[in-house]
Amino acid sequence: MLDKKVQPHIQLSNDLAVDKVLLPGDPARVERLKKWLDDPKELAFNREYRSLIGSYKGTSILVMSTGMGGPSTGIGVEELANISVKYAIRIGSCGALQPEMKIGDLLVATAAVRDEGTTKAYMEEIYPAVPDYQLLSNIKQALETNHFPYHFGLVRSHDSFYTDKEASIDAYWSNKGIWGADMETSSLFVIGGLRGMRTASILNVVVTADGDLESDINKFVNTEEKVMEGENHQIKVALEALASIT
């Protein structure tokens, strides 16, 4: 369904005529993205959905935060599909689950474990959460051209952060070969995919596998240098991947 009306949550409409979007979780990341775009224009900031539009190498790019977790990501993705968005790359942060991953390394999701509630409201658990092959290929090209440190691997998207069991849950999934933990990738892949969107997720490592989640997250709030370097890398790679869509 194409929708000329302003969408209720994201407060954007089809009049934008843009089909490519970058999706950070954090609205503050939207502000930091401004410097990457030519002629950036603030659009809306309603609830967790902060948006701006600009261009990169002549390609029109929408940027919109999803907030944290599956439900807000799902609503954002549905409303973006209603205004004709066709390509969406998440630029998020994640906790590492494998020991060789360093702060500021990038993790490109090859698929996601649907360990959250949102996508179960849409599809049986046997349905896979997978990205678009062409976007992955563009992302790999940009990573190699720029020589940024990266990994490709499975991500676990989850709903909880501060339960008493987080350490053992992470150990379990690490042993099963999962590379990182976030809260939105599986919802983007499943809901975006069901709505005909091509999707990918590039995650910046903000917590190492042997790190303590609470203290490392606090360092993240203090904009630790390596984290910011990783964020700049993920933004550049995502923009290059979108701009090279033919």
Ligand X SMILES: O=P(O)(O)O[C@H]1O[C@H](CO)[C@@H](O)[C@H]1O
Contacted entry of ligand URA, ligand X, none for residue 25, CB cut-off 5 to 8 Å set by kind: ligand X
24, interface contact from ligand URA, ligand X, none, CB < 5-8 Å by kind: ligand X
Any residues with CB less than 8 A from the CB of 98 and at least 6 apart, and which? 151, 153, 174, 179, 209
Active site residue 39: no
Longest dimension (CA), the chain: 49
Least separation in angstroms between CB 75 and ligand URA: 19
Which residue in the list 15, 132, 210, 212 is annotated as catalytic? 210
Q: Which is nearer to ligand X, 217 or 228 (CB)?
A: 217
Which positions touch ligand X (CB under 6 A)?
Answer: 24-26, 68, 92-93, 182-184, 217
Angstrom distance (rounded) from CA 59 to CA 240: 10
Phi, psi of 83 (to 5 degrees): -105, 25
237 binds ligand URA (CB under 6 A): no
List binders of ligand URA among 134-153 (CB under 6 A): none
CA distance 240 to 158: 28
The CA distances from residue 179 to 89, 131, 191, in Å, are 18, 16, 22
The number of residues making up the chain comes to 246
- Other CB atoms within a 10 A radius of the CB of residue 221 amount to 10
Q: Which is nearer to ligand URA, 174 or 199 (CB)?
A: 174
Task: Give the pair of three-digit tokens for residue 17.
Answer: 């005529």
In the complex, what is the shortest distance from the CB of residue 25 to ligand URA, in angstroms, rounded to a whole number?
9
Do the Cβ atoms of 65 and 26 come closer than 8 Å?
A: yes
Does residue 191 contact residue 121 with C-beta atoms inside 8 Å?
A: no
Write down the least CB distance from residue 212 to ligand URA, Å: 10
Number of neighbouring beta carbons within 10 Å of residue 170: 20
- Helix, strand, or coil here: 105? coil
Near ligand URA by CB under 6 A: residue from 24, 54, 67, 95: 95
State the binding string over 158-187 for ligand URA (x if CB under 6 A, else -).
-----------------------xxx----
Q: How many residues line the site for ligand URA (CB under 6 A)?
A: 9
**Which of 12, 61, 75, 94 touches ligand URA by CB under 6 A?**
94
d(CA 105, CA 209): 12
Pick one of 44, 123, 213, 245: the residue that binds ligand URA (CB under 6 A).
Answer: 213
Quick one: 25 or 76, whose CB is closer to ligand X? 25
> Active-site positions?
210
What does the binding site for ligand URA look like in residue numbers (CB under 6 A)?
93-95, 181-183, 206-207, 213
